[in-house]
Structures are given as C-alpha cells and as structure tokens.
Structure 1
Amino acid sequence: MSEIHLRQIKSYLQKTFNGLIDLSDYQNKSEKDRELIFLTRSLAAFTLMVLADISPQEASKSIVDGGQDNGIDSLYFDRR
C-alpha cells in the first residue's frame, strides 16, 4: 500500500470519527500516542460500520478497546 493510500485512509477516519471515539483513557499520553489509538479505534469502528451497516456514531459506541482485553476491540449486537 502506498503512502498516498495511507494518508487517504487516515484522512477518512479523522473526518468520519472525529469527536466520536472515546480517548479518555489516553488523556495523559502524548499526542502521537493519542493519534495512534484514535486511528486503531476508528478502524475498528469503520469495520463495524461497513459489516453491520450502522452509523459512525453507533459504531464508535461499540468500541471496547483497552489494555488486557485479549485483542477484542469492539462489540456490536444487532437484535434484527
């Protein structure tokens, strides 16, 4: 994947999930660390958005990423 593709993905995630991804557990971290965790959580939310056909707001509420979570980044249950 080229650098331009990576920038396009990053830009899309920032526009789509800005203000929606909870970063409260990273308040005391560096800006670089906050950006990295924002992007990883946004990517998980984007995946849910596409697979479950849900809004960015709903997808961002489904993020459960954190330390000691055995790699689980999001949970979503659809009653339909």
Structure 2
Amino acid sequence: MVDFQNILFPVALTDISAVIPPYVATVASRFGAKLHLLHVLRRFDWFLLKFLNQFLAQIKADGRFETIYNRWFRETDWYRFAR
C-alpha cells in the first residue's frame, strides 16, 4: 500500500474547487497525511492576487480566518458528511 504523508491539492475559483476539498481531506485523514491546499491563479492576474492578499489580511485581523480554520481544518465533525 502507498504511504501518503502529504497531499498537495490545487484549488481555483471554480465551482468544482468548492466541492472536492472535503473528499480530498477524507483521503488525507484515512492515510494520516497532511493536506495542503494551493490556490491557483492565472498567470499575471495581479488584480486578483492583490485582492486575495488584502482579503486574507482583513479576515486574519478581524478573527474570521481563525473561525474558518477551526471549523474546517481543526475540527473533523464535517468528515462524516463527506463519506
């Protein structure tokens, strides 16, 4: 059997990218692997990159990032819905 220690999963601003991560997280959980999400941008899309960086800074500052992180990455209650 293959022993996965890390899984790198690219996501983009598409409908399918919002659906697949819970399934990838389930696979990572079953193998005891760490899941790393990589947001993919179009080359030279500086406007979107600037927007995302500002948005991340804003939600980190107001505490929403921690809430989202705790809900989807620290807690595993949602796994049962992905199986």
Query: Which protein has greater RCO, CA pairs closer than 8 Å, 6+ apart?
Result: 2
Asked if Structure 1 and Structure 2 have the same fold, meaning a TM-score greater than 0.5 normalized by the shorter chain, the answer is: no
Normalised by the length of structure 2, the TM-score is: 0.26
